[in-house]
Structure formats: structure tokens, C-alpha cells
A and B are shown apart, each in its own frame.
Chain A
């Protein structure tokens, strides 16, 4: 738990590393990107979080460094935390289900300084995103950031949940809830959603995020799933008890579809030479002309 454990440990017993992290984060994102860690550091959602002082007016561009995964932890149980779609990590389903939804990957400023996804209802009939994460029967913290265009955005209609096989409960899902204040970054507003689980689901689990009611663009980024060393709600403070509910028919159908796409019993070469390998000038046009419908990276 390189990054987050340092923060956690710092909350109990401050260390140089943990003390430095929020400061580092502020340096990293002086342009208005405070990242996840300062909020996580608070470990108490009910505490009063003072607004940071406004940054000084930009005068001279500053040089800094950025870790490989931005402010996301390296020890992140999501299969594809950078949302590259090069792994079996992310799938999208439209409301009509059979249509291939249009989901864009966006590389731009974000709360975690990592790429995020854009789902535009104008291009889709409300796509839902499903991400795979590996869990185990130990205390688990799951979070991600949702964004909207503009600065007065509502996240009331978004739905974020994690579905999995909970011991003693069976296959069920639990909601992530909005944590902290809305964060404005450039022309977008971001809201963190999170849940702490006393015991994570068995095996692989599915984070689902979407908005089937609003006509606003939805951005999704910063997925993180990390082990909790302390008790559940250690990060979220006096969180409400985690409630499980059975999967809906639609949720079951989406998970079943993911299963269908990820049950390859092929050899290592079955994953094939990825399209990205064909970065040759003369071959790239051929690839684009020949390309078929998008497929999961693990589909045979």
C-alpha cells in the first residue's frame, strides 16, 4: 500500500512520508487539482474541512513531477486503473443493451491526475460503465470520481455501486455514496463516491457507474480499491452501515455479458498482438479500415 498506506499510517502515527504527501499533492495540483489523498487523509467525512487558500495568480509555469498512476495508489485492485481499455478491465453497456455505447477516454486534468471517461447522453442512451476489480474477504475501500460539465452540477441521479459475491449474502450489490464537497477543476465539477466494506466480496467484483436519468454528460475516473488496515469506515469516518441489495435483472445481464467476454481458454498468444502494436505508418490506415466492432481485450 505504497501511497495510501502511508497516508493511513500518517493519520495514526505521522511519518515524514505521510506528512509530506498532502503537501506534495498540493504542489502537484496547484492548478486546482487537489486529488484524492487530502480527503482520504482526513479519514473523517464529518470533520470540517477547511477550504484551501486560493492559489496565487499564475505567473510563471512551474515544473514538478507526476507519479505513474497520478495520485492513485500503485496497489490498486482495479484491473485497469488508468482506463486504458487494453485489458479486460472496463466494459460499457447502453440502456438498449445491444448497442455498442460510445465512451470516450479523456486525457486531461482530473482529481487524480489520471485519464477518465466521458459518457455523453447525446451520443448514447445512457451507457453504464462496468469495471472489474479483484477483491478478497478483508476490509476494503472502493472509490471513484464522477464529473460533470460546469460548476453547478448535480450528481443526484448518478448510480454507483459495487456488485460481488459476499460471503453469507450471495451475489449482491452495495452503493457508493458521495463523499466530501464538489471539486471544481477547470470547466468540470467532480464528486468523489466511496464505500468501505468490512469484508470485501469473494474473487472478482464489478463496479458499476452510470446515470440513466440525466441528460448531462457524465465523467468517470480515478477508480481505486485498496485494502483497509483498520476497521471499516476507517477512511470514511462514521459512515452509514453498508447495505446490500440483490442484483437487478439488468445488472445480472451486464455481469453475464462480461463473463461471456472474459472466459477465454486460449493461450497467451490468444490475446493477440494488440492493435497498438501496429504503429507503423504504412499499416495504420489498413488497420483502421479493417477494424470491426470494438471487442473486449480478452475476448478470443
Chain B
């Protein structure tokens, strides 16, 4: 092979090499049964200690908290013709759970490359990836990651070929990748319950990089709506710059056979595992979206198409497999849907609810209305940004739920955002100030210059509330999932929850106690503020729900798996008979069960059934879908306030498996639900896909925001205090 032992110490040999190798024929040699890297632009042999010296390698044993330098890694080289290239191979994995190769010494800026390596699992497998980091070296933020894919090529003695696929070397043609990382996938299994095996190994060999020519993505600025024209077929717009799509959203599978199998498997999962009856009827829509991907292995479209296709199910629990990091977060600014009533036409647009102390937040203030992005009306821009803005639930809730995503998408793409600012009433706002922020310039450009003004993880704790009517307590912030707390104001009890955490989950017991404290004295006027409702457990749903509804208001719910058969059967009867014959939680029963309202009540069923209740909703999914539905069944005075539908996610959510090293395999709802008012209820309608709607449509108004008033709370308070 061609060894380049000094390559990493100077850029000069690279230039010489690139000049000499416009094409190469490296690969598997059938005559010798070996891989040859001759002609590669870079090649790393693991033949012996000398071969890896100066190559920027390091390793780590996280369990025993040990690190490996190149000398240490040399001790993990297996020789005696162990390799598929040359004579040696690196025995990674097990206690050497992580191996990194610093790519800083390589200079392929302006070039398009494809990296390969071979590995031979001997108990475990290493997941290779290349990562790009931006910003301050002491405060780096992620720019993107390309996870290698198997090519499908294997040898009869167990070697596997993996590749990065074609990718431009530099992020935006400027920032070179930081490292090539190998991570023992046994660590991934650990989090699901399997134990890593410290003695497991995977032999690593034949790591090489091909130079495919000039970079495919132009080094130019861009805007998301025009990214196809700005960045070409291989690029996407990220932080205001054209970036190789593979870096931003991940590579597709390159092997036609593997890619077809992968798509077929995901469709099979939907066809058989999906429990929502309405979503099950949407399978063909998903199929129509995904099957064409078998023919087009494009990084720019593959995973984004998955992401959008899963929303076609209208399964509020569905999420597509994830091959890359999601979008940048909110950059420290809480933006939610509101009514810009001070502007002409009082448009419904995202409003700033809170702005925190950073370079973006400092330019904004509550009540600022996001009226344009990249020169387009916000709604038009959001429609063009579909790859970054998705909502799996009831479409009637989309604009409310996704308003924060609109701003996050603007941050991620480096858009130019325009906010309209008005003075507080009674001043007129005929000529509002326009606050124009080029997010690409103030976030993206500094990152290229080694300055982290706003990093990937910089985010504000936003929760769809303009005012949080209950303060944080000593243990839990009022924006945290497990928070529950109450306060009284002018005869109105405010109970704030952000989900319905199960009793046995983290913070669950305290949540139950806080709800009990809030409802035990049967407050006559109650605002249940679940504007952030992330769901949780059926026990918590039932505990708070049954507190508030009378014993005769709602009988129960049947949680039922898919029966996969359109013909009438007695499957539901079988499940119900099974689940009601055992202990309260039943056993398996096909993963179905009947839940009787009040089962989780601790002598509290109906204790607050007489309260007049205003329910505030905005982003409510799953457990909070159920809770809102239960409250809708109250005989007592109840009204729901908000602007969009809940998700309509009636069933449990299960993770799907990650088959090819995805960051996550996605998720599906594996049940659907039938509600019953009484034990004679012959309702057979499944609930999924249609969330509860507010009876009173109300959004945060810009005029109220400017004086610190929460429009939704005030509307609820006014209704509660109406005299009958």
C-alpha cells in the first residue's frame, strides 16, 4: 500500500499527493483477497505502531476513565496478517470504546471526498462518523455530522466495508471537519438494557480517503426558500451558508439494495405496528413519499423526506428516524403564535414572548411581531421551510405548535428576520419600527471566525405561556416537565402543569402531591393551565382528571392495539375480557386494556367535580390529549381556551429500532383509544388524529404583551368570574 506516515504533520505532502492522484482504483482485489488503498488521497494503515504515529489518533475507555494516545493504541494493533489491508489491524471496541482521529492535519478544503474503512466485528461494531465543529475552540458548537453507512460489501471471513459517502470536506467550504470518530455501538445498546462487553472487539483497517474532485456545493450565502438554486442539488442552507446536505441532515444509504430494504422495513413497521386507526389509512401516502427514495439516494432529500412523510400519518406520536442533529434551537428567544392586533389587519404571526440575554435576545423585546423572514411574509416562508417545520398531530393545531419551530428554522438557516415593534397602547402603531436581524451574520459568521455568539444548545426555556401564573418552587422550575404548582389570585385558583408525569417517574410523586394540594379544597374557580402539555402516564391523567370529573361523567377508555383486519371481529372483546380479569393493570392482553376512570384516584374521584374550570391549552399531546378529553366530558362548568387543536395522540408511544446507526429509529403510536361515557356505551369510534379543540379561540395579543398581560389568562379569568 501507499503509506503516508508524515502526511499529518504538514500540508505539503497532501498537495503533492492530490496532484498525483486524479483518479484511483483502490478497493477490494479479488485476486489477493485484500483491500488496496493505492492511489487514495489519504490512507492509514494499521500495520504497526509506526504506521499510526503522527496520525492524530487517540482513544478512550469511558468505563475505566482511561485515555489512549498513539502509543497506547499501538498496543491494540493486531498483526500476523490480521488485516484486510497490509498485515495489521486496530482492535477497537470493548474497553476501547472510542477512537478519534484528529483531521486537523488534513487539508482537503475545496475538495469533495469519500472516506472508507473496513471493520471486522468480533463481538461488537464501531460506528464511524465525521464531525464538524464551529466557533470558539473553548466553546465549540456542532456544525454537522456524517455517520458512515455500510455499503453492503462484506467478505466471507467477516469484514465489512463502511463509507462516509461523497461529501464536501469543509463546512461551507471553510471549516474542515474536526475528527473521524469510532464509537462502540454497544454503548447505544446499553441505554436500552444491554450491557457493554469490555472484551468485545472490532478490527479496523483500510481507512482511506478518496478525492472526488472539486467541492460540489458552492461557497456562497443562501436563503432557505431559494436554497436549491443557491446551493445546488447537493447543498442546503445552514446558518446562512451553503453547506453539504450530508453534513447537515445525514447521508442516505448508498447501496440500492440496502436502501430499498430500509424503506420497505420502515413501511412494514407503519403497516403492522401503527395502532392509530386513522393513521393506518394513510399508509399509502407515506409509501408514495418514501418509495421514490429507492431511486434517488440524495442527501438533500432522503432524511427530510422521511421527516415530512411521517407527518402524513397524523399520528401525533409518530416521528421519523433521525440521522442527524435537529435544527438549532431558539437562540434564547421564546416565540409563539399571537395576534399582532396593533398592526394593520391584526395578523396572526409569531410574537416574542420572552427574550433572554444574548446577542439575539438583546435586540428583541416581548410583543415584537415576526412579520417577515428572508423578505417573505412569515407564513409563506414557513411553508417553504417544510423540511425544518413539522407537526405530526392534528393539523388544526399546527400553527400554534410550530410557531417556535418557525423561529428555530430561521436560526438554523441563518435567515434575515424582520420584527415589527409597537409602543404600548394607547399610542398608535401606524408606522411600527422594524427590527431586522440577519441571523446568518450575527450567528453564522462569528462561528466561522471562531466566535460562539450563539451555540447549538443555546436555548431559552419556552413553554407557550406569555405569563406563568405560578412561580417556580425550590425544587422545580415552572417550565420543567415535572412541575405542578398552584397559586390564588382574586378568587381564582391557578394550577399549572407541563405534562402528566407518572407517579413512578422522576418527580412524579411530587407532582401528584402538588395536584392534590391544588384540588383538595375544591376550588370554586379553577384555571388549569396546560398550555405546555407533554403527556406522561395514564395514572397521572386519571388522577388529575378524575379529581375534576364526576363519577358519572365518563366511564372509561379502551386502549387497543391494531387488529390488522378490517373485518369485524371480537378482538376488542377479547382484550377487554383479558384486561378486566386480572389485576388492575392487566397482563399483556395483546398490549390492550380497559381503563376505568377513577382507577388512579385515591378517594378523590369527583372531589372537584363542582369547580368551574377554565382549561388553557396550546401544545398538548398524548397524556394531555386524554386529560383535555376527560375534562370535556365534565358535567360541571368547563370551557377550553386556546387557538389550536391538541395532537389527537390517543395511545402509547413506542420507539422504533435504529437499524443503521441512526441517532434514533423514530417512534409510532401502537394503540388507539375508544372512550365510553357509561358501561352501556356502544361507541366504537377510535379517537386518534383528532385532538380536542378550544371552545374559546384566544391568542396572546401584541397590545397585551406590551403591558405584560397574558391575554389567554385574562379571557379565562373573565369567563370564570362571569355571574350566571
Residues of A within 8 A of B (CB): 2, 29-31, 58, 60-69, 74-77, 79-92, 100, 102-109, 115, 117-118, 132, 134, 136-138, 163-165, 167, 170-171, 201-206, 247, 252, 255-256, 258-260, 262-271, 273-277, 279-282, 284-285, 287-289, 291, 294-298, 300
Partner of B265, one of A74, A83, A206, A265: A74
B135: Cβ under 8 A from any A Cβ: no
How many interface contacts (CB-CB < 8 Å) are there between A and B? 367
C-alpha spacing A136/B194, complex, angstroms: 29
Q: How far is the CA of A163 from the CA of B197 in the complex (A)?
A: 30
Query: Is B153 an interface position by the 8 A CB rule?
Result: yes
Q: Which residues of the other chain, A, contact B659 by a CB distance below 8 angstroms?
A: 68-69, 82, 84
B404 at the interface (CB under 8 A from A): no
- Smallest CB separation, B304 vs chain A (Å): 17
B425 within 8 A of A: no
Binary interface encoding of chain B residues 526-550 relative to chain A, with 1 for a CB under 8 A from any of its CBs, else 0: 0000000011111001000000000
Contact in complex: B657, A165 (CB < 8 Å):
no
Given contacts A2-B264, A297-B191, contact A86 B541 (CB under 8 A): no
A285 and B60 contacting across the interface, CB-CB below 8 Å: yes
User: Are A294 and B181 in contact, with the CB atoms below 8 A?
Assistant: no
Q: Give A31 to B98 CA distance when docked, in angstroms.
A: 30
B665 touches A87 (CB 8 A): yes
Complex Cα spacing A42 to B187, Å:
39
Q: Which residues of B contact A298 (CB under 8 A)?
A: 652-655
Interface range on chain B: under 10, 10 to 19, 20 to 34, or 35 or more?
Answer: 35 or more
State whether the Cβ of B316 lies closer than 8 Å to any Cβ in chain A: yes
Given A68, A106, A170, A252, which contacts B261 in the complex, CB threshold below 8 Å? A68
Q: Are A268 and B392 in contact (CB under 8 A)?
A: yes
Question: Does B719 lie at the interface of the complex (its beta carbon under 8 Å from any beta carbon of A)?
Answer: no
Chain B residues contacting A80 (CB-CB under 8 Å) are: 657
Chain A's nearest CB lies how many Å from the CB of B501? 7
A134 CB contact (under 8 Å) in B121, B273, B505, B536 = B273
| Contact call B537/A167, Cβ cutoff below 8 A | no
Contact status A256-B585, CB under 8 Å = yes
Q: Does B305 contact A (CB under 8 A)?
A: no
Give, as a whole number of angstroms, the nearest-CB distance from A146 to chain B.
17
CB of B466 within 8 Å of the partner chain: no
A68 touches B194 (CB 8 A): no
B397 at the interface (CB under 8 A from A): no
Report B-chain residues with C-beta under 8 Å of the C-beta of A164: 588, 590
Query: Which B32-49 residues have a C-beta within 8 angstroms of A?
Result: 32-34
> Which of A102, A164, A167, A265 has the largest number of chain B CB atoms within 10 A?
A265
Name which residue of chain A comes closest to B121, CB basis.
A107
Task: Give 6 closest A-B pairs by Cβ, nearest first.
Answer: A203-B590, A85-B192, A61-B33, A203-B561, A288-B62, A204-B591
Footprint of A on B, CB under 8 Å? Answer: 28, 30-34, 60, 62-63, 65, 84, 97-98, 100, 121-125, 127, 129, 131, 140, 142, 145, 152-160, 179, 181, 183, 185-197, 200, 202, 255, 257-258, 261-262, 264-265, 268, 272-273, 316-319, 322, 325, 392, 499-502, 504-505, 534-538, 541, 560-565, 569-571, 574-575, 577-578, 581-583, 585-592, 621-623, 626, 647, 649, 652-661, 663-665, 667, 670
* CB pairs A–B below 8 angstroms (10 shown): A61-B84, A85-B191, A107-B124, A115-B125, A204-B590, A204-B670, A274-B191, A275-B190, A276-B658, A294-B193
Contact in complex: A296, B587 (CB < 8 Å): no
CA–CA, A81 and B317, complex, Å: 22
Given the complex, which residues of A lie within 8 Å of B31, measured CB to CB?
A: 60
Residue of A75, A275, A280 near B191 (CB, 8 A) is: A275
Chain A nearest CB, measured from B363 CB (Å): 29
If A105-B186, A285-B60 touch, does A264 touch B319 (CB 8 Å cutoff)? Answer: no
Which A residues are in CB contact (< 8 Å) with B156? 29-31, 58, 61-62, 64
A117 cross-chain contacts in B, Cβ below 8 A: 194
In the docked arrangement, what's the CA distance between A88 and B591, Å? 12
Q: Bound complex: CA of A104 vs CA of B187, how far in Å?
A: 11
Cα distance, A285 to B97, chains bound together (Å): 10
Given known pairs A64-B154, A137-B565, A277-B664, the reply for A86 and B189 (CB within 8 Å) is yes
Tell me the minimal C-beta distance from B482 to chain A in angstroms.
10
Contacts A171-B578, A259-B588, A279-B127 known; 12 new A-B pairs at CB < 8 A: A31-B157, A61-B155, A104-B200, A109-B158, A115-B125, A134-B562, A202-B561, A256-B586, A260-B585, A265-B652, A288-B63, A298-B655
Known contacts A267-B535, A288-B63; A203 and B587 CB within 8 A of each other: no
| Bound complex: CA A278 to CA B159 (Å) | 27
Partner of A204, one of B30, B32, B561, B667: B561
Least CB distance, A33 to chain B, in whole angstroms: 9
Which of A85, A170, A284 has most B Cβ within 10 Å? A85
Q: Identify A268's interface contact among B65, B255, B317, B325, CB under 8 A.
A: B317
Q: Which of B156, B570, B655 has the most CB of A within 10 A?
A: B655
- Contact yes or no, A265 B657, CB < 8 A: no
CB B537 to nearest CB in A, in angstroms, measures 6
